[in-house]
Homo-oligomer: A and B are copies of this chain.
């Protein structure tokens, strides 16, 4: 069994954005006594989705951090449209709507097995030097990998 929680990205087109899809299966730990995914767990799903999205473009968040750049979240937003349920295989479509500068924005659409959009949201993150915590430009190889997607 391989390719666990990996994503595939759409090849560069004239669409002027980067998109990728990832799948996540809801764990029992992630439900609450309402019988649904706890609302706070979508932040974690978004984390997995953006890491897998950039991995599908050939970029490793882990390596970036090992190389001294980290990406703290500055702002996040969530709209809960329908409940997520235990054991469902959710599909998350992640979009990078514009080439990142000192910040990067990700947009997310989470759908259930029936194809219903259940949660949508976005996050903005900064690039910071781990040592100094000062803002920095995105790593050159990340920009090089993303540029072909942006007309």
Contacts from A to B (Cβ < 8 Å) = 1-8, 21-25, 27-29, 31-36, 38-44, 47-48, 51, 60-62, 65, 70, 72-80, 83, 86-87, 89
**Are B32 and A32 touching (Cβ within 8 A)?**
yes
- Give the shortest distance, in Å, between A56 (CB) and chain B (any CB): 9
> What is the distance, in angstroms, from A7's C-beta to the closest C-beta of chain B?
6
State the oligomeric state as a number of copies: 4
Determine whether the beta carbon of A80 is less than 8 Å from that of B72: yes
Asked if A86 contacts B44 (CB within 8 A), the reply is no
Cα separation A77 to B67 with both chains bound (whole Å): 31
Q: How far, in angstroms, from A43 to B142 measured CA to CA in the complex?
A: 30
The interface residues of chain B lying within 8 Å CB-to-CB of A47 are 27-29, 40
